[in-house]
Structure 1
Amino acid sequence: MKKAVILLSGGMDSTTCMSVAYKEGYDMYPISFDYNQRHKRELECAKNVAEFYKVKQHKIIKLDNVGGSALTDFTIDVPDYKGDSEKIPVTYVPARNILFLSYAVGYGEVIDAEAIFIGVSSVDYSGYPDCRPEFIEAFQKVINIGTKSGVEGRPIKIITPLINLTKAETVKLAVKNQAPLHLTTTCYKGGEKACGICDSCRLRIKGFKKAGIKDPIEYEIEIDWRDNK
């Protein structure tokens, strides 16, 4: 059976990616990362998602974070959503996807995987530079020329099922694939209930509203799911 490494955060996007890999018949090997993020609740969600799909092995890799982000530095507040901005937000974690993909490629070579699934999107997203198509294309070139499998003509392929999807389209895809969205969380603040006001929550809420679907997770604030704005 063909194998795939899944970058599984425990959020909606990575879980939707996992549902795509499952539908496409991959033997899935999810990996998650503990980089001292304040939203560590995602790791528990990742464990639950991995158990839902009955995977053979789910790795959680411990990384020392480099700081400089509201998600890893507790002296920097997670900002409330203030609308679209051209600036890279303080929730950007320096080189996060570079590190994650590097580990995924190494692990992929060990288990002889054909693909890596990552839930990046360049449509409804927070403006992170490591979520853009240009970044994925560049990293694919690194795999092609910097790994044994690549040099031998069978490079591991980075698969990004969500990169051109809106959040509403991602929600619809997840529901179509019966992804366990009730087991996920997206909130940057990492509480038992999602805050509903951080950038990540607002993007998720917007996606569900535009999809015309009620989010199965709980929020600290009351949300009118009939309002698609």
Structure 2
Amino acid sequence: MNENGAMVVFSGGQDSTTCLFWALERFKNVEAVTFDYNQRHKLEIECAKNIAKEFGVQHTILDMSLLSQLTANALTREDIAIAKGSDGELPTTFVDGRNMLFLTFAAVLAKQKNLRHIVTGVCETDFSGYPDCRDIFVKSLNVTLNLAMDYQFVVHTPLMWINKAQTWEMADVMGKLDFIREKTLTCYYGILGSGCGQCPACVLRNNGLQEYLISRGR
């Protein structure tokens, strides 16, 4: 058990909740931070609060509503349809600068609490092509944060090189498969558990679960 503490960037979804449990197994002191950026699936904030409370994790919610004023996307504007990108374009759910800002503010908060480890659930194996989920971005920002605050952060990305089926497997190994399956919110329309089944986030989540359950049955 690492005596140093960790700050988990936490949305209450499958990936960040898996990372929360990953951190709880490794760090003596774990806190979580959730960002309110006027997302249309705002129920995820309540979901994150409930999970943090259930597991006794100190939880901070930060107001990032400015983000929704700066960028037009389907997660903050109901007049923009949720859709996959076509002809090499990013999906309409991509929020410019979101992970950069989230990790930066998480680092500022972590430093105030004397925490040196930051955990985030970004992944570039099964994802929607978001540039701020890439390993090269996270490593670059890690260096920048250390230089900017003269503080030695370590940004952990436990899911970076695994797909959604393997993420479900990780949850199962930790004994948390059913919890994550039933009590997390990944759906862009704010539907708990398996969600709407149609949006890109639900398709990735549910396809990964089925793949894992089939492989587990062998």
Alignment TM-score > 0.5, same fold: yes
How far apart are residue 77 of structure 1 and its match?
A: 1.3
How far apart are residue 16 of structure 1 and its match?
A: 0.4
How far apart are residue 164 of structure 1 and its match?
A: 0.2
Contact 2:185 2:192 (8 Å CA) reproduced: no
Contact 2:186 2:192 (8 Å CA) reproduced: no
Q: Partner of 1:26: helix, strand, or coil? A: strand
Q: Does 1:163 align with 2:160?
A: yes
Match of 1:108 among 99, 107, 110: 110
Aligned equivalent of 1:68 = 72
Q: Distance in 1 between matches of 2:161 and 2:87?
A: 19
Q: Distance in 2 between matches of 1:89 and 1:60?
A: 26
Gapped runs of 5+ residues in structure 1? 150-154, 214-225
Q: Distance in 1 between matches of 2:141 and 2:115?
A: 17
Contact 1:48 1:183 (8 Å CA) reproduced: no
Alignment length (residue pairs)? 206
Q: Does 1:93 align with 2:95?
A: yes
* More displaced 10-residue stretch of structure 1: 188-197 or 37-46: 188-197
Q: Does 1:51 align with 2:53?
A: yes
Structure 2 length as normaliser, TM-score? 0.89
Q: Distance in 1 between matches of 2:87 and 2:141?
A: 26
Q: Distance in 2 between matches of 1:191 and 1:12?
A: 13
Q: Distance in 1 between matches of 2:51 and 2:147?
A: 33
Per-residue CA deviation, residues 141-190 of structure 1 (Å, 9 max, x unaligned), is 102211131xxxxx110000000010000001012112330210110111
Aligned equivalent of 1:190 = 190
How far apart are residue 59 of structure 1 and its match?
A: 0.5
Aligned CA-pair RMSD: 1.8
Contact 1:78 1:189 (8 Å CA) reproduced: no
Summarize the Cα distance change of 1:191–1:148 in structure 2 as closer, same or farther, 3 Å threshold. Answer: same
Tell me the amino acid that sits aligned with residue 87 of structure 1. E
Q: Partner of 1:58: helix, strand, or coil? A: strand
Per-residue CA deviation, residues 75-129 of structure 1 (Å, 9 max, x unaligned), is 10113x69x9743111001100011011111011111112000000100101101
Q: Distance in 2 between matches of 1:129 and 1:192?
A: 27
Summarize the Cα distance change of 1:138–1:178 in structure 2 as closer, same or farther, 3 Å threshold. Answer: same
Contact 2:6 2:119 (8 Å CA) reproduced: yes
Tell me the amino acid that sits aligned with residue 190 of structure 1. G
Q: Distance in 2 between matches of 1:173 and 1:8?
A: 17
Q: Partner of 1:140: helix, strand, or coil? A: helix
Q: Partner of 2:80: helix, strand, or coil? A: coil
Q: What stretches of structure 1 move > 6 A for 4+ residues in a row?
A: none
Q: Partner of 2:34: helix, strand, or coil? A: strand
Greater helix proportion: 2
Contact 1:87 1:127 (8 Å CA) reproduced: no
How far apart are residue 12 of structure 1 and its match?
A: 0.2
Q: Partner of 1:46: helix, strand, or coil? A: helix
Q: Partner of 1:186: helix, strand, or coil? A: coil
Q: Distance in 2 between matches of 1:4 and 1:27?
A: 6
Aligned equivalent of 1:220 = none
Tell me the amino acid that sits aligned with residue 59 of structure 2. H
Tell me the amino acid that sits aligned with residue 176 of structure 1. V
